[in-house]
Amino acid sequence: MMHNIQNRNFPVFFILKYTLFCCFALLIVSCKSKKNWTDSNKTNESKTIITIPKNTTDIAILLDVNEKSLKNKELYNFIINWYGTPYKFGGNSKNGIDCSGFTNVLYNEIYKIQLPRISRDIALNIKRKYTNELNEGDLVFFSIGNSGTINHVGIYLQNNKFVHASSSKGVIISNLNDTYYAKYLVKCGSYKK
């Protein structure tokens, strides 16, 4: 028995095409009208890009804060002095340093505290805080990749920014709100002395 499509009373192909077209049009319109949730977390791209800060004015620009809010000048001068130092796993000098090495050197020099050498060991002695409770000098910990263990550490500064030894860029200031860091942040807080 043969069915003749042309003799149907209901124009199936017309409605199918029309429905698909309407769905596609709605998708396009809705995508353009939505505000991307990451827009509020993006840095102001019109600002001058600073490769290596030369002074606290440059640091204030990187942190997107008023320079007067940089009370701990010793800390920020330390960061200026180390900024851009290349990453080297197990390194502990200006020739190359890793994240926990940098955190150790900074804590020893600025806060006169000797930390354990490995980031996951540092994390064992932390008084946990929420990110909105962090103060300058608190520590932020990440589990980067699929390891399931803490394998990166940085020092919180201000305005959701932290300083750390990045494996790709060396010692830099980054934003906790960046998609990459927000995805891997697992713990933060102050070190118990």
Which residues form the catalytic set? 99, 152, 164
Is residue 61 a contact partner of residue 50, using CB atoms and an 8 Å limit?
yes
Q: Using CA atoms, how far apart are residues 98 and 47, in angstroms rounded to an integer?
A: 29
What value, to the nearest 5°, has the Cα angle with vertex 163 and ends 105 and 121? 55
Rounded distance between C-alpha atoms, residue 142 and residue 107, angstroms? 18
